[in-house]
Structure 1
Amino acid sequence: MSLRPTSLRARLILGALLVLAIFLTAAGVGQERAFRAAALSAEQDKLRGLIYALLGATEPSARGGLVIGDFDLPDPRLTQPDSGLAAWLLTLEDEVVWRSPSALHAPPEHGLGEVGDFHFEETPEHFLTTYHLRWIGTDAEARRYQLLVESSKGSFQQQLTAYRRQLLGWLLAAAAGLLITLMIVLAWLIQPVRRMERELRAVERGDTDELAGRYPDELRPLASALNAMVQTERNQQARYRNALGDLAHSLKTPLAVLDGMLREGNTDVAQTREQVERMRHITEHQLARASHAGRRTLARPQVLAPVVDKIASSMAKVYHDKAPQITQDVPQGLNLRVEEGDLFELVGNILDNACKWCEQAVAISSERDGGSITITVEDDGPGFPEDAQQFLKRGQRADQRTPGQGLGLATVKDLVDLYEGSILIDRSRRLGGARLVLRLRA
């Protein structure tokens, strides 16, 4: 079983807990070290002050040396045996000149130093401060001494333990407060996602047509893409229904003609073939309409130039008897968010129509115009008549003598409408024939 979190909420909580644990651990360690350093410095200052106080209690001995009186000791613990605080006055040769009443053991090991130097050491159980001094007695002889003060770490450890316990309590309280705040903020942050989920359920049930809520900037593209996908699916279903309805309606006439011929005993093969051919074209057209993908927000952009090259090469082979001269002015890198099959059918139909009617010259060009792409096809043929828009309707032709059912430009019109574009038919000023301009969203 996978232990990875499967929801955004779980991932956010897990990530926040990990960051919180690392942060609080680092903060706790840092605070503990800072407190210990401060406490250690305070202990060092306290022992140094005690040494200064002991120096103030020194007096000359009968032999001209230095001694400390037991009745002038600055800290009462120095007079209590085994109190945790002890002091020694040693010669440079480590001979004990004086020891406090609390010092029941031999002086600890210590290092040598110069006159006036303080040396602070920490052992597992004690703090030790050593001060080196020189004394000129009544006999004018200079003598070197070492004053040692040893303090137990018991109170220091208790203070440190109490601080750690208090710090842990504060950190746990801060962690609980931050966690509660995080949960509140997380619930607020995840609210748009929950709302999107509810609206998707409503769209699935058919209670609403789209995601209509106001979403944060990060979720707005996702909501738009989901709306586009929902609309694409519904448009596809509508195209299927309309195509089936149109197919049934369009087949009524040729079927009625065939039925009448059968009833009359008419066995005219040419007329029968005409009606069958008509039904075949109608079926092909309606199936093509139903299969068009339509505009999709997440569709992969298609580069236009290679498509034009392939279709122009095919047209040159199809109309090799006429040998049309097809010139192209399509910039490389120009692309459309159109399904590949739809793009081939769009460009193929308009180029096929131009090659069919041209004398010899056909020109195709394309350019970007703001947020749109225009595709222009011109020829040097007779051009369209005045009422050119009629050729965008299914079944209309410019010349009844030309084979076909006039479905090419009607298919182009269906595709252009499907991709929310526009189509313009007029006369070419450059070649003198027809000019057809497609405008599609980039």
Structure 2
Amino acid sequence: MTAPRPALRRRFLGPPGSLQRRLLLAAGAFLGIALVAAGLSIGFILHRFVRGQVDGRLDDRILSLVSDLRPAPGGGLSLGRDRDGPPFDRPRSGWYWQIRRGEARLGSAALEGRDLAVPEIAGRRRKSEEPVPADGVGPWGESLILRVLTLPGKGDAAPTVLVASAPTAALRGPVLEALRTLAACLGVIGLFLFAGVLVQIRLGLRPLLRLRDQLAAVRTGGLHRLPERQPAEVRPLVAEMNALLDQNAANLDHARAHVANLAHGLKTPLATLSLALADAPSDRDGALARLVEGMDRRIRHHLRRARAAAVGGPVRARAELAAHVADLCLVLGRLHAGKDIAFAADVPGDLALACDPQDLDEMLGNLIENACQWCRGRVRIAARRLGTEVVVRIEDDGPGLPDGVRDAILQRGRRLDESQPGHGFGLPIALELAAFYGGSLVLDTSDLGGLAVRVTLPA
């Protein structure tokens, strides 16, 4: 199947508003104007050249008539020899000649005895050393090209007017034939020129496309700065972007210092409170201590998010997925050693996420721990890259969740089973972190029988 015409036009010219489209349209317009102007100029030159050839042929005929012109008895006209050679011997062909002096006339056989009308403009030229051009109409209404020579008479004798004619087709035919060939040649030249312009524009815009890819690499963590080896026209822009990246890095370090100070200022009182509650007789069941521990954990979580948001989001962060999954499976397997959980991890080693490593541990840790808590003995983690995203799927063989409660379980503090340990913050925190990085979290049913959690994050 062929691609739709708008898709081909978009692929050839580029998207609307693009530099490539503007440059190509402007180049096409100027090339078209230049080729039309060249065609008109060459056509005018061809017309003059062919007209000169026709006029020269008619002038030769007139000059030969003058050389053979003889006086006849009674003031008539005669020729020393026959001048009706081709093409002047073909009747009604438009190739005629005629000599007139007063009432005396001589004409070519092609006229069949008819008179060739001479325009008034030629009759007014009383003296002329060479033939002059004119246009006329033949005896049968055909359009003619004329050359007229007027020789003055001796004394009171009437002037002698010699006329030679050619059909207009003798001029238009060769010119039109040449113009058709010229148009085909100019069209081929125009296509080659436009192809050259297209190649030139794409080569000229290639540094911008390469710069776009380098900026994407900076955003995803593949590069820290843009390479300084750039074309001279792009180099100032790259220098400004690198200066902006350096400024953002300085802002990040400054924000991290403030976050560290804030963390120190909050965690020290919390640690003191935790020690005080450990010996307090009023907190024998440890409820207050667990609340303090939860406060500490959430403070650390939000401080990490504030640190990332200080520079506009999780830019240039990078985390190797396989290593984090392996570490979490090892740690959580030991914490749930009583269940003897069988972990199955299918994570390619080259998958990397544009995500802070601590936030990735927070997300996957909550999800894998939740799977370990509810599974009967099997937990499966798989990851695949789809375009610019990575999809991580965590499944267990536990009881799963009914469709009606999946949205409710993602709300903070909602727990389906109060007998199980926890506070109901694991899934909501993972959902918030995934959304923070531009991803998503979806609950589904696993083919193992339990719950399947699908997390999508930027690669």
Q: Check the 8 A contact 1:66/1:135 in 2, yes or no.
A: no
Per-residue Cα deviation, 1:128-160 (whole angstroms, up to 9, x for no partner): 111111344xxx863311111121122221100
Q: In 1, Cα distance between the equivalents of 2:84 and 2:111? A: 15
Matched, 1:76 2:76: no
What is the match of residue 116 of structure 1? 128
Structure 1 residue 192 displacement after superposition: 0.7
Q: Check the 8 A contact 2:92/2:111 in 1, yes or no.
A: yes
Q: Check the 8 A contact 1:54/1:74 in 2, yes or no.
A: no
Q: Check the 8 A contact 1:57/1:72 in 2, yes or no.
A: no
- 1:185-334 equivalences under 5 Å are 185-212=200-227, 214-250=229-265
How has the CA–CA distance of structure 1 residues 89 and 13 changed in structure 2, closer, same or farther, with 3 Å as cutoff? same
Structure 2 SS opposite 1:157 = helix
Which of 176, 180, 188 in structure 2 is aligned with 1:161?
176
Structure 2 SS opposite 1:32 = helix
Which of 43, 49, 56 in structure 2 is aligned with 1:45?
56
What is the match of residue 132 of structure 1? 150
Q: In 1, Cα distance between the equivalents of 2:67 and 2:18? A: 73
Structure 1 residue 211 displacement after superposition: 1.1
Q: In 1, Cα distance between the equivalents of 2:170 and 2:88? A: 16
Which of 102, 107, 113 in structure 1 is aligned with 2:110?
102
- Output the amino acid matched with 1:11: R
Q: In 2, Cα distance between the equivalents of 1:205 and 1:189? A: 26
- Output the amino acid matched with 1:126: L
Q: In the comparison of the two structures, how many residue pairs are matched?
A: 264
Q: In 2, Cα distance between the equivalents of 1:81 and 1:208? A: 88
Matched, 1:18 2:29: yes
Structure 1 residue 23 displacement after superposition: 0.8
Q: Check the 8 A contact 1:50/1:74 in 2, yes or no.
A: no
Identity of aligned residues (%): 25
- Output the amino acid matched with 2:23: L
How has the CA–CA distance of structure 1 residues 153 and 228 changed in structure 2, closer, same or farther, with 3 Å as cutoff? same
Structure 2 SS opposite 1:78 = coil
Unaligned runs of 5+ in 1: 263-289, 295-442
Structure 2 SS opposite 1:149 = strand
Runs in 1 of length 4+ with deviation above 4 angstroms? 250-262
How has the CA–CA distance of structure 1 residues 79 and 135 changed in structure 2, closer, same or farther, with 3 Å as cutoff? farther
How has the CA–CA distance of structure 1 residues 106 and 72 changed in structure 2, closer, same or farther, with 3 Å as cutoff? closer
CA RMSD across the alignment: 3.5
Q: In 2, Cα distance between the equivalents of 1:77 and 1:34? A: 26
Q: In 1, Cα distance between the equivalents of 2:271 and 2:216? A: 47
Per-residue Cα deviation, 1:147-199 (whole angstroms, up to 9, x for no partner): 11121122221100111011111101111211222222222211111110110
Structure 1 residue 200 displacement after superposition: 1.0
What is the match of residue 95 of structure 2? 85
Per-residue Cα deviation, 1:307-326 (whole angstroms, up to 9, x for no partner): xxxxxxxxxxxxxxxxxxxx
How has the CA–CA distance of structure 1 residues 110 and 258 changed in structure 2, closer, same or farther, with 3 Å as cutoff? same
Per-residue Cα deviation, 1:225-258 (whole angstroms, up to 9, x for no partner): 2222233333333322321111222466788899
Structure 2 SS opposite 1:79 = coil
Per-residue Cα deviation, 1:186-226 (whole angstroms, up to 9, x for no partner): 22211111110110111111111111152111111111122
What is the match of residue 281 of structure 2? none
How has the CA–CA distance of structure 1 residues 257 and 81 changed in structure 2, closer, same or farther, with 3 Å as cutoff? closer
Q: Check the 8 A contact 2:95/2:166 in 1, yes or no.
A: yes
Q: Check the 8 A contact 2:118/2:163 in 1, yes or no.
A: no
How has the CA–CA distance of structure 1 residues 259 and 169 changed in structure 2, closer, same or farther, with 3 Å as cutoff? closer
What is the match of residue 70 of structure 2? 59
Q: Check the 8 A contact 2:135/2:144 in 1, yes or no.
A: yes
* TM-score, reference length from structure 1: 0.53
Q: Check the 8 A contact 2:76/2:104 in 1, yes or no.
A: no
What is the match of residue 424 of structure 1? none
Q: Check the 8 A contact 1:58/1:66 in 2, yes or no.
A: yes
- 1:421-440 equivalences under 5 Å are none
Which of 168, 178, 183 in structure 1 is aligned with 2:198?
183
* TM-score, reference length from structure 2: 0.51
